[in-house]
Amino acid sequence: MSDDTHADGACGALRRPRGALESEVLAALWAADSPLSATQVREALSGDLAYTTVMTILARLHDKGLVARHARGRGYAYEPTRDEAAHTAEQMRSLLERGSDRQATLARFVSELSRQDEEFLQRLLTGQQEP
Amino acid sequence: MHITVYIPLLIAALAPAVVARAARRLPPRPAAWALLCTAAVATAGWLGSLALLAFATLVQIPGIAREGHWSPQLLRAADPVFGPVGVLGALALAASAAALGTAALRQAAAHRLARREVRRLPSGGELAVLDDDTPDAFALPGAPGRIVVTRGMLRSLDHVERQALLAHERAHLAHRHHRFLAAWRLAAAVNPLLRPLADTGAFMLERWADEDAATAVGDRTVVARALARAALATAGSGARPARLAAASGAVPQRVRALVAPPPAHRPLPLLAGGLVLAVSCASLTSAASDSDRMLDTARMPACSHVEAPGNQDDHRIGGRHHDDRDEHPQRDSRRACGGEGPDSPEHQLPAWEPAADRGSPVPRPVH
């Protein structure tokens, strides 16, 4: 978080702080089905980062214990460490399901939908995907 | 005092609904600030006016009037507040204060809970991923705050959409949106009529974070797509069942706003709103000074009555005020009486006591 104001870790089409890049790489690893090499991570991030930047970020995530790496070929394959995340998810579930208290502190990305809402959003997505 | 004391109440009752409607047409950032200012001024006006109404009635209670050396008759004559209105004001004030206290305690407890959850999260970086297939994402405020996203949510988005999601939650934390929410909730607790501010405010904060995310990823439609996909994934997971309401929910409105051109900056509604809030503040100030003057008037005759026998001593005690007494007879007689006002009781005793020592008949200041 303290690196957020530094622009030194940012590159690619959109400049963004290193903390944000770390989050994106971590998010990409979590979204993947299997461990990813640095090259695959770079592809998953739309290829807008330099290879060395991706390597640096992966090394930092590994140092923090957020990412585990296994030797694969000549390099490494990276995957997120799950134990702590699973444990935390269990702890957080009570918070997530607690009704009104939750509202006082959290702003969720998306709220609930009605059936009409769902149809509207479906149309929007399919419309945009088929230009 | 006649009308001015009711103006802040009227504004507090009418402004929220109007401001909430108008705010939806503004860009989200100024809208959120406008809603915050409205909540602050409306709450202050509401509490202040109720306090003045309650005060004007309470000082007429003989016991209280005696304490303050006011004449109940004169207070009643000078006071335009109809008795039952003042009593209602006192009751409403008590209810508002109690609701504010309860809400503040609840907020504090919820805040502590969030801080504890933040400390529980695995350390390292802003993002904490939960190994859970239910799509969910939120920001947990703290020092520093954290972005919490489940694996299920990350898997339902592509890279740029994940980027938009992270930028959205980052905006909530960076702009300390939880403080806005807390302020609106407290305001709504004090006066339920301010509820629309809280509801619209929560929506505008989401819009604000959406627009911030759009700036971060450089494409508003990406944010719209991320929202749509995240909402559908959440609905599809069955974690939160679809609402039965026919009205369009917050997410489609946010998506529509992102697909439409960005909202233009409109200074006029902000100016108009600012003016109304200024009127509320001015009315409250005017009513407060009227109330102060009313107490002065009610006190004066009581004092002149007392001073009559010991007028010589008055020069000794209050001699330094001799010159301005000619200009402000009313004000000086209050001083000679010893009290600067109801809030300085310690000044009242020395001036009363010499009179008592002289053995002169000191009539109780009650008529």
Q: Search chain B and give the residue with CA nearest A29.
A: B154
Confirm or reject contact between A117 and chain B (CB < 8 A): yes
Domain boundaries, position B223: 7-281
Band (A128; pLDDT cuts 50, 70, 90): low
Give domain status of residue B1, yes or no.
no
B54 and B13 fall within a common domain: yes
B56 and B88 fall within a common domain: yes
**A9 neighbourhood in chain B, CB within 8 Å:** none
Confirm or reject contact between A7 and chain B (CB < 8 A): no
Confirm or reject contact between B165 and chain A (CB < 8 A): yes
A2-80, which class in CATH? mainly alpha
Q: Search chain A and give the residue with CA nearest B144.
A: A1
Instruction: Tell me how far apart the alpha carbons of residues B280 and B216 are, in angstroms, rounded to a whole number.
Output: 39
Instruction: Tell me how far apart the alpha carbons of residues A55 and A37 are, in angstroms, rounded to a whole number.
Output: 10
B277 and B311 fall within a common domain: no
Strand order in the sheet with A67-72: A36-37, A75-80, A67-72
Give domain status of residue B22, yes or no.
yes
Band (A115; pLDDT cuts 50, 70, 90): confident
B211 and B317 fall within a common domain: no
Q: Which domain-ending residue is among B228, B255, B281? A: B281
Q: What's the mean pLDDT in A89-108? A: 59
Give domain status of residue B365, yes or no.
no
Q: Search chain A and give the residue with CA nearest B228.
A: A121
**A114 neighbourhood in chain B, CB within 8 Å:** 242-249
Q: Which domain-ending residue is among B281, B310, B334? A: B281
Asked which of A3-12, A39-48, A69-78, B155-164 is least confident by mean pLDDT, the reply is: A3-12
B261 and B144 fall within a common domain: yes
Confirm or reject contact between B133 and chain A (CB < 8 A): no
* Shortest distance, CA B226 to any CA of chain A (angstroms): 10
Residue B41 · residue B285 · CB < 8 Å: no
Give domain status of residue B286, yes or no.
no
Residue among B127, B169, B247 whose CB faces A109 most closely:
B169
A72 vs B75 pLDDT, higher one: A72
**Partner-chain contact B154 A31, CB within 8 Å:** yes
Q: How far is CA B183 from CA B43, B95, B195, B260, in A?
A: 10, 18, 11, 30
**B227 neighbourhood in chain A, CB within 8 Å:** 109-110
Instruction: Tell me how far apart the alpha carbons of residues B35 and B30 are, in angstroms, rounded to a whole number.
Output: 9
Confirm or reject contact between A11 and chain B (CB < 8 A): no
The proportion of chain A whose per-residue pLDDT surpasses 90, expressed as a percent, equals 24
**Partner-chain contact B159 A30, CB within 8 Å:** no
B335 and B307 fall within a common domain: yes
Residue among A30, A109, A116 whose CB faces B248 most closely:
A116
* Shortest distance, CA A120 to any CA of chain B (angstroms): 7
Test mutation, B116, B118, B130, B170, chain A, max A CBs within 10 A: B130
Q: Which domain-ending residue is among B258, B281, B304? A: B281
**Partner-chain contact B126 A82, CB within 8 Å:** no
Confirm or reject contact between A5 and chain B (CB < 8 A): no
* Shortest distance, CA B151 to any CA of chain A (angstroms): 6
B76 and B205 fall within a common domain: yes
A125 vs B198 pLDDT, higher one: B198
Residue among B113, B162, B221 whose CB faces A128 most closely:
B221
* A13-37 pLDDT per residue, tens: 456 677 888 999 999 999 998 999 9
B306 and B190 fall within a common domain: no
Chain centroid, CA B345 distance in Å: 30
Instruction: Tell me how far apart the alpha carbons of residues B19 and B270 are, in angstroms, rounded to a whole number.
Output: 9
Confirm or reject contact between B110 and chain A (CB < 8 A): yes
3-state secondary structure B227-280: HHHHHHHHHHHCCCCCECCCCCCHHHHHHHHHHCCCCCCCHHHHHHHHHHHHHH
**A34 neighbourhood in chain B, CB within 8 Å:** none
Instruction: Tell me how far apart the alpha carbons of residues B210 and B230 are, in angstroms, rounded to a whole number.
Output: 13
Residue among A44, A93, A125 whose CB faces B229 most closely:
A125
B130 and B252 fall within a common domain: yes
Q: Which of residues 55-94 of A touch B (CB under 8 A)?
A: 61, 64-66, 80, 82, 84-86, 88-89, 91-93
Can you give the pLDDT of all 367 residues of chain B as single tens digits? 578 889 999 999 998 999 999 998 899 999 999 999 999 999 999 999 999 888 888 877 777 777 777 777 777 776 666 778 888 889 999 999 999 999 999 888 888 877 877 787 777 788 888 888 888 888 888 778 888 888 999 999 999 999 999 999 999 999 999 899 999 999 999 999 999 999 899 999 999 999 999 999 999 999 999 999 988 888 776 555 444 434 456 888 899 999 999 888 888 888 888 988 898 899 998 888 888 887 777 775 544 444 444 444 444 444 444 444 444 444 444 444 444 444 444 444 444 444 444 444 444 444 4
Give domain status of residue B363, yes or no.
no
B122 and B245 fall within a common domain: yes
Number of domains within chain B: 2
- Crossing angle for the helix pair B220-237 and B195-217, to the nearest 10 degrees: 120
